[in-house]
Amino acid sequence: MNQSQIQLKPWSQTEDDAAETFASAEPALSAPTSVMPAPVGKTVRTFSGTSWPGLDRIRSIHALVPTAAALVWVVGAAVLPTNQPGLPPIQALGVACLLACAAAIVVTAWRTRRRAMAALELSIASTSRRAAGKWGAAALGAEIQPLWEAVERQTAEVTRQIEQLLEERKELGLELSLIAVQKRQAEAIIRSMSDPVLVTDSYDQLVLANPAAEELFGFKCPDALRQPLTVLVADEKLVALIRQAREADTRVARRRTEHEIGEQVFALTMSPVASGQSEDEVGVEHHGVVVLLRDITKERKAARLKSEFVAQVAHELRTPLSSIRAYVEMLVDGEAADEKTRSEYFEIIQTSADGLGRLIDNMLNISRIEAGTVRINKEPIAVSMVAKEAADMMRPAAEQKGISLSEELTPVMYRVLADRDLLYQAVLNLLSNAVKYTPEGGRIHLRVIPQEESKTIRVEVSDSGVGIPKEDLPRMFQKFFRVEKNKEMAKGTGLGLNLVKQIVETVHGGELTLSSEVGKGSTFGMILPLTQ
């Protein structure tokens, strides 16, 4: 059952009630009309003011008018869309009719009462005269009694009807304002949505759009309403999709698809909805479409970056694996003729296997830090102590290349709240890079510099190495990035500096600095907050 039928029901009841009321009042009608005498000029106040004899004559006509008015009003409430503020026109007309009829009843009743009063007065006067002369006072009351009772009943009935209609009007008014509030709430919810929403009718005209949709398509709402979508939306493909969704036979089914608008990718959800006018004269169901557009540009980009990353990882893993497989096969095939070549091949296999292991370790560390699953055990750590341990660890490798590794540590034990192992790993990675990319006979300088003003401490690794081209500086901490020209200097996974970045920035809330000059060397710095 649709909305209009539901709302009509209270009216039908009211109509029945009214009919019953008139039917029950019917037997009383004949008596007063038959005895109604002609009016006479003089008025005597014998009866109470509420008794209106003679009203029954015109009652049936007057009773129909408010009934018709109420019908117009209630139908108006049911049929009209309830979104206009205040009373809708048809309903206002109904109320006006009702009030006019009520006024007409009052005026007519008043005039009738005057005539009835005059008639009664005449009747009483003549009866009194006759009674005085012939029958006596008792005969007077018996003659008037039925008329009096009928008038009383009718008056009460009309009053009751008026009160009932006024009550119903009040209730409908309340219902209307409640519906208006609910509608405003629903609209506020739709407007507050960050995803664009469009609602179209059965003619592909705009019925509703939220600010996100207005911004996306560049129209403004009060003006755009009831405009054809083809005018509002420049995107022909989208308009066609919405039309197809509306024309689709399956009314319940939602359509989901992806659609690109400019640089953005949207997930479209189009749900056909009944537009209110249930069926037209040939029985065709009309419905519009609610279109929800969800911006999935970021998700798409993330998915693309992820697959690129996987491809990159696969490449990085395959390269050492290729070497291992190739050299093992060479040894198996006896391609290494002498002992020197054989041991050279074994060494390459070992180096490649080590590199593969390091790559996997670094990748796991980075992904654990990124996912927040790494176990971090923060405690106050003396930065100089950790820096010295890392320097001692790297010293043999530096000495092997004839590189001098000097330290400039703070005598005071400045402490940071840090994970000892991760901090050690970060300093070690910076020192290891310095050793890798500094030619033989170079210098590496490790400094720990407290910065009292900013309550931070700076760990700095400077080298006299090959340096980094200016254009590569912003990419140095990216995963798998390696300076092309420097690749041949050392083996690397392209993950070491990214791990430093994760440890310093993500785990410890610190900051990284980098300055470099090609041919002169580089300085990497990490700034960590001191414990209070």
CB of 323 to another protein, least distance (A): 4
Closer to another protein at the Cβ: 345 or 424?
Answer: 345
CB of 326 to another protein, least distance (A): 4
Which one of 183, 325, 475, 520 is in contact with another protein (CB under 8 A)? 325
Closer to another protein at the Cβ: 100 or 321?
Answer: 321
Lookup: tokens for 88: 């809708």
Site for another protein in 295-314 (CB under 8 A): 311, 314
Picking from 390, 485, 476, the residue whose alpha carbon sits closest to that of residue 435 is 390
Say how many C-beta atoms besides its own lie within 10 A of residue 2's C-beta.
12
CB of 477 to another protein, least distance (A): 21
Q: Which stretch binds another protein (CB under 8 A): 5-13, 95-103, 480-488, 516-524?
A: 480-488
Distances (CA, A) of 76 to 67, 81, 89, 281, 509: 14, 9, 8, 21, 66
- Give the angle subtended at the CA of 491 by the CAs of 489 and 494, to the nearest 5°: 110
- Report the distance separating Cα 59 and Cα 26, nearest Å: 11
- Report the distance separating Cα 120 and Cα 148, nearest Å: 10
Q: Which stretch binds another protein (CB under 8 A): 25-33, 69-77, 140-148, 483-491?
A: 483-491
Closer to another protein at the Cβ: 492 or 510?
Answer: 492
Lookup: tokens for 228: 């054809």
CB of 311 to another protein, least distance (A): 7
**59 and 154 Cβ atoms separated by less than 8 Å:** yes
Q: Is 488 in the site for another protein (CB under 8 A)?
A: yes
The number of residues that bind another protein (CB under 8 A) is 21
Q: Beta strands 206-209 and 415-419: pairing type?
A: unpaired
Q: Is 335 in the site for another protein (CB under 8 A)?
A: yes
- Give the angle subtended at the CA of 479 by the CAs of 473 and 483, to the nearest 5°: 40
- Report the distance separating Cα 78 and Cα 177, nearest Å: 14
Q: Is 330 in the site for another protein (CB under 8 A)?
A: yes
Which one of 100, 326, 364, 490 is in contact with another protein (CB under 8 A)? 326
Which one of 108, 123, 323, 522 is in contact with another protein (CB under 8 A)? 323
- Residue 129, C-beta contacts closer than 8 angstroms, at least 6 positions apart: none
Closer to another protein at the Cβ: 22 or 480?
Answer: 480
Query: Three-class SS of residue 101?
Result: helix
Q: Is 331 in the site for another protein (CB under 8 A)?
A: no
Handedness of CA 311, 313, 316, 321 (dihedral sign): negative
Q: Which stretch binds another protein (CB under 8 A): 18-26, 125-133, 302-310, 328-336?
A: 328-336
- Contacts with another protein by CB under 8 A lie at 311, 314-315, 318-319, 321-323, 325-327, 329-330, 333, 335, 337, 348, 352, 484, 487-488
